[in-house]
Chains A and B, each alone.
Chain A
Amino acid sequence: MADDVKDKVIRILAEQAMLEPSDIALTQTLEDLGIDSLGLVESIFAIEEEFDIQVPFNANSPQDSAFDISTVASIIGAVEGLVAAQST
């Protein structure tokens, strides 16, 4: 399941960044990918639709949100956590 989540999140971010999934590195930030604030909320929406989860994120205080958006890897980790919590 883990790889499945990872691949899907990368595909969502790649589509938003207008890049190929293979061009995305786990260490990259959203800024590196050229994803702005609107791109971010669109990505979160796509993630929620893809995994049928609720992502706790407020654009006013991203740093206080339980959802860590600092890198591609952290986003994947956060989504994995939410998906795991969903299935328990």
Chain B
Amino acid sequence: MRRVVITGAGTINALGHTVGATMEAFREGRCGIGRLDIRDVERLTVQIGAQVKDYDESAQFNRQQIALYDRFTQFALIAAAQAVAQSGLNFQGELAQRAGVIMGTSGGGLTTQDENYRAVYEEGKNRVHPFVVPKLMNNAAASHVSMQYNLQGPSFTVATACASSNHAMGQAFATIRSGVADVMVTGGSEAMLCFGGVKAWEGLRVMSRDACRPFSANRNGMVQGEGAGMFVFEEYEHARARGAEIMAEVAGFAMSSDAADIVMPSKKGAARAIAGALTDGRLAPDDVGYINAHGTGTAANDKTECAAVADVFGRHANDLMISSTKSMHGHLIGGTGAVELLACIMAVRDGIIAPTIGYEESDPECALDVVPNEAREASVTVALSNAFAFGGFNAVLALRQA
């Protein structure tokens, strides 16, 4: 069977504007969550988030581009540029047709929707900019990435709420493994930190007003983040033949559906996806040294996730490490799995495990090694990345040391 490896990575998120800066924040256990700086923040009851800081769109893009690029598209393009540059690939001729882009997002151009609804409903305007539709559509980011890099093969966008990125990267993996493509640019992007985007989440009453403390007994909810993570997935022989630097191997992927509840997580559904990723990658449970948890910091997710991990791994659940980096970069919703894959790459490539910060009190229902507050050095052969979405859709990726 064809194997798939990662030969490029890029990101922009609350922890930094590059992979290097993000991994440094992971190592230092730095928190990117702070007071939101958005219009009408005083009308929100949840006023914190993990915003991308020191960001000036006009320093990155020209006026014509900004007219077409929603914030989530801008993040995707910035992350994709880093990933493609690192890979060293130039998509011309046959390779261009054997390469595509699959991205995850949940809200797509939500900021564009928010601004334009405001213009017509609140300000009473009767005219909006002609590019509103191509700017807000969920596939805008993937389309602009395809145009930027001449990716002419299979390309689309996946929207499965908090599992969007993992589903997207799983499809990119399958596309290469099955022989349909040789290279896929993949990942996810989200920019939901606008008034309407936060207001909608407030309504569910699952948001914390002070901090994201996954697995901690005193956790009180999730904190939204924003940004993008993008990767170059490449067929192993293709990468080896050109002497590319391999960051990690994508070893397995699985997805499952709870078919149960629109918001409550299911231990069984999560466990089936975790076990499925091991089976798909022909991995033994004991091979897994690290899991980047979905770990939202909600009461329901964290205990259900720990129970699922305990079910799948049995005694080995006590030996492996599981951390939630959402405590640092927040929950990027449709982009979250992509940024979290960086922690898995850091684990298998660098032997450094990103911590769960903000951890204050142990919870008997989350009695695993959650790598509290400080990063750790450990040799890890296989790392998993969990994503469990509202709607009951679960997607788990397995990375192996290159």
Interface status of A54 (Cβ within 8 A of chain B): yes
- B364 sits at the interface (CB 8 A): no
Decide: B45 and A59 in contact? CB cutoff 8 A: no
Chain A nearest CB from B328 CB (Å) reads 19
Of B45, B203, B219, B299, which one neighbours A54 at CB under 8 angstroms?
A: B45
Contact at A61–B220, with CB atoms within 8 Å? yes
| Residue B133, interface by CB 8 Å | no
- The answer to whether the Cβ of B221 comes within 8 Å of any Cβ in the partner chain is yes
A79 to chain B, nearest CB (A): 16
| Residues 28-60 of A contacting B (Cβ, < 8 Å) | 37-38, 41, 44-45, 54, 57-60
B194-219 near A? 1/0 per residue, CB < 8 Å: 00000000011111100000000001
Counting chain A CB atoms within 10 Å of each CB, the highest count among B205, B206, B207 belongs to: B205
Whether B298 sits at the interface, judged by CB under 8 Å, is yes
B220 A45 Cβ-Cβ under 8 A: no
- Out of B203, B264, B299, name the residue touching A60 (CB < 8 Å): B299
What is the CB-to-nearest-CB distance from B1 to chain A, in angstroms, rounded to a whole number?
Answer: 43
Pick from B203, B208, B262, B299: contact of A41, CB below 8 A.
B203
Contact assessment for A60 and B298 in the assembled complex, using a CB-CB cutoff below 8 Å: yes
- Does B284 sit at the interface, judged by CB under 8 A? no
Q: Are B208 and A37 in contact (CB under 8 A)?
A: no
Q: Which residue of B lies closest to A45 (CB)?
A: B203
On A, residues with C-beta under 8 Å from B are 37-38, 41, 44-45, 54, 57-61, 64
Give which listed residue, A54, A59, A61, A64, contacts B204 with CB less than 8 A.
A59
A60 touches B45 (CB 8 A): no
Given A59-B221, A60-B221, 9 additional A-B pairs, CB 8 A = A38-B262, A41-B205, A58-B205, A58-B206, A58-B208, A58-B221, A59-B298, A60-B299, A61-B220
Closest chain B CB from A38 CB (angstroms):
6
Chain A residues near B208 (CB, 8 Å)?
Answer: 58, 60
Residues of B72-112 contacting chain A, CB below 8 A: none
Q: How large is the interface on B (under 10, 10 to 19, 20 to 34, 35 or more residues)?
A: 10 to 19
Residues of B within 8 A of A60 (CB): 206, 208, 219-221, 298-300
In the complex, which residues of chain A have a beta carbon less than 8 angstroms from the beta carbon of B263?
37-38
Q: Is the CB of A58 within 8 A of B204?
A: no
CA distance A58 to B204 in the complex (A): 9
Contact check, A57 vs B262: say whether CB atoms are below 8 A apart.
no
A57 to B209, CA, bound (A): 12
In the assembled complex, the CB of A46 is this many whole angstroms from the nearest CB of chain B, namely: 12
B299: which A residues are within 8 A, CB to CB? 59-61
A30 to B219 Cα, complex, angstroms: 24
A38–B219 Cα distance when bound, in Å, is: 20
- Cα distance A45–B203 in the bound complex, in angstroms: 8
| Contact with B220, one of A37, A54, A58 (Cβ below 8 angstroms) | A58
Distance, CA A75 to CA B112, complexed state (A): 40
Chain B, 252-279, CB within 8 A of any chain A CB:
262-264
Closest partner residue, chain B, to A59 (CB atom): B205
**How far does the Cβ of B400 sit from chain A's closest Cβ, in whole Å?**
35
A45 contacts across to B, CB distance below 8 A: 203
Question: CA separation between A41 and B264, bound complex, in Å?
Answer: 13
A-B contact pairs, 12 of them (CB 8 A): A38-B263, A41-B203, A54-B45, A57-B205, A58-B205, A58-B220, A59-B204, A59-B206, A59-B221, A60-B220, A60-B221, A60-B298
Q: Across the interface, which residues of B come within 8 angstroms of A44, CB to CB?
A: 205
User: Which A residues are in CB contact (< 8 Å) with B219?
Assistant: 60
Chain A residues with CB below 8 A from B220, complex form:
58, 60-61, 64
In the bound complex, residues from chain B placing their C-beta under 8 Å from that of A59 are: 204-206, 221, 298-299
> What is the CB-to-nearest-CB distance from B110 to chain A, in angstroms, rounded to a whole number?
21
